[in-house]
Structure 1
Amino acid sequence: MNRRTLLAAGAGLALAPLARPAFANALETLRARKKLLVAIDLGNPPFGQSDAQMQPSGSDVETGRLLAADWGMPMELVQVTGPNRVPFLLTGKADMVIASFSVTPERERVIDFSAPYGVIQIVVAGKKGVEIKDLASLAGKRVGTTRGSSNDKEFTDRNTGAQIIRFDDDATLITALVSGQVDIMATSPQVMQTANQRHPQSPFEVKITLKTNNYAIGIRKGETALQAELNSWISANLKNGKLNAIYKKFHGVDLPAEMLA
């Protein structure tokens, strides 16, 4: 085999994972299976985490369980990280992603989303007493974030010279913050709150709010029947207060009033 043939074969292998397998109607499939495969990130407290008994917990975990219960079937948790949420969905390892999945134009080119069921801010946080006036003041400083997250993208797009240190999930980022590997982070208030609970002697605070995003349930493109069912379920459970109760239990605040209307 000559060099050109080898290069062509290698290129084909590199592109192979991007090919999307054909799927039947996802709603019909999961109903026939009688089990809901939900991708959730357990390294992203308080959305997904392991409790003291090492059992899955968090607002996304309870949201998935509520959905499965309302649909009359068990939920099988498919554990993912921020970077592999979309690949797991596109390769059929999960029916949907419930993992603080912010709705962004980039993601909407690849997958579809349900109606929003929560909100999450993107912030720059630092130690109390440390002045951070603006993004320009971060030039040359180490800023931690979670690889592949909307926090990562938003900060990267607006970065003006900071050294970005990327971690594979929020749990690893939190450990880095608590251990002093980084003193500044581009993340969510929820991650900041978890870091403060782990190390209250030297707490972080929000310095800059970059953006407020809606998050929703991610599904494969073209699954209109599944999307309609999810939208109906989200609407009903926002109105009856169940989704707000889950959000408040884990995040300490209510969802925005306009989302509950």
Structure 2
Amino acid sequence: MKKYSLLLFLSLVVFMFVTACSSEPKKAEKASSDKGSDVSNAASDLPKLPDFIKEKGKLVIGVKTDFPPFGSMDASGKNVGYDIDFAKKLAEYAFGDENAVELVAVTSANRIPLLNSKKVDLLIASLGVTEERKQVIDYTEPYFSTSHMIMVDKASKIDSLEDLKDKNVVTLKGTTGSIALEKLVPSAKQLKLEANSEAIKALKDGRAVAMVNDETVLYEVVAKDPSLKLTGDPFEALPMAAAVRKGEDEWLNWLNAAIKKTANDDQFYDWFKTWFPEYKSTPELLPRAK
């Protein structure tokens, strides 16, 4: 009897062990299925993600890190801003996880070379749309628009572009602000710097009498620094868009569909209200829900 009971006990142990082991693959399979479901739910109404993007398992995006409120670093070293929220939303659409993204710091001068050398697969870096740039990159549909303005010292008498003739004016290398100033005031002596923070310092140090940049960015600066002010009227309005390499039509189509989906959810407007509280009006080309 004791022998029989022992055999029965051992049989039950073996049965329980086999059952537990066989359930593990099902749990793993379910977890994998759930993750896949998250991805498909997030992007169920978008085109197929290109294979070269899918194989990486993340998006690699060039962003600004010193250009608030589009892209900057907070006190903890975390990327924040309007462009950053957009980048994370694309990662959520692509992989079901807003953190499935590698954010690569770019400047106005190096962003297009980094894209075309495949260091990044997408630019979301306050990139204005120009005919010259269209020769070397492909733009998505616009996701923002802005004009340019002049920023000066609070005591400055400058109040128009005319006043910048033959004067030292600080701009950023490779920006539409620099291009616009060259076209409208060719006699202005441009001090072209790499970083927004460098340009602001140059203005405050007296190395230039004015700074020209996107008005949305300059509103943010003067809101935090009472020693500076904006002057004159906005000029050279233009759309902003993300950008990909030439010939990547499948990727471009996916991104344009993602922009449309984001606009239909009115997410761009929500981000605008969060990041541009000082801005006077909603940008004309800001994608909105129909």
Counterpart position of 1:238: 263
2:229 is aligned with 1:204: yes
Q: Would you say the 8 A contact 1:136–1:160 is kept in 2?
A: no
Residue 117 of structure 1 aligns to a residue whose secondary structure is: strand
98-107 or 48-57: which moved more? Answer: 48-57
Structure 2: tracts of 5 or more residues without a match: 1-48
2:148 is aligned with 1:148: no
Counterpart position of 1:191: 217
2:61 is aligned with 1:35: no
The partner residue of 2:76 within 41, 44, 53 is 53
One-letter code aligned to 1:166: K
Q: Would you say the 8 A contact 2:60–2:121 is kept in 1?
A: yes
Q: Whole-Å Cα distance in 2 between the matches of residues 226 and 61 of structure 1?
A: 19
2:148 is aligned with 1:122: yes
**Aligned pairs (5 A) from 1:50-199:** 50-72=73-95, 73=97, 74-128=100-154, 130-199=156-225
Q: Would you say the 8 A contact 2:144–2:286 is kept in 1?
A: no
Q: Would you say the 8 A contact 2:167–2:209 is kept in 1?
A: no
Counterpart position of 1:247: 272
Query: How many residue pairs get matched?
Result: 236
Deviation at 1:206, TM superposition (A): 3.3
Q: Would you say the 8 A contact 1:48–1:99 is kept in 2?
A: yes
Q: Whole-Å Cα distance in 2 between the matches of residues 237 and 245 of structure 1?
A: 11
- RMSD across aligned C-alpha pairs, in angstroms? 2.1
1:23-77 Cα deviation digits (max 9, x unpaired): xxx9211111111000001121111111121211111111101110121150001
One-letter code aligned to 1:92: K
134-143 or 148-157: which moved more? Answer: 134-143
Residue 53 of structure 1 aligns to a residue whose secondary structure is: coil
One-letter code aligned to 2:107: T
Q: Whole-Å Cα distance in 1 between the matches of residues 263 and 74 of structure 2?
A: 26
The partner residue of 1:220 within 245, 255, 258 is 245
1:128-181 Cα deviation digits (max 9, x unpaired): 464435433222322111111111111112224222111112122123334444
Deviation at 1:224, TM superposition (A): 0.9
Q: Whole-Å Cα distance in 2 between the matches of residues 54 and 258 of structure 1?
A: 28
Q: Would you say the 8 A contact 1:112–1:221 is kept in 2?
A: yes
One-letter code aligned to 2:284: P
Structure 1: tracts of 5 or more residues without a match: 1-25
Q: Whole-Å Cα distance in 2 between the matches of residues 155 and 208 of structure 1?
A: 14
Q: Whole-Å Cα distance in 2 between the matches of residues 167 and 257 of structure 1?
A: 28
Q: Would you say the 8 A contact 1:122–1:186 is kept in 2?
A: yes
Identical residues among aligned pairs (%): 26
Residue 115 of structure 1 aligns to a residue whose secondary structure is: strand
Residue 71 of structure 1 aligns to a residue whose secondary structure is: helix
One-letter code aligned to 1:63: F
Deviation at 1:258, TM superposition (A): 7.1
TM-score (normalizing by structure 2): 0.75
Residue 33 of structure 1 aligns to a residue whose secondary structure is: coil
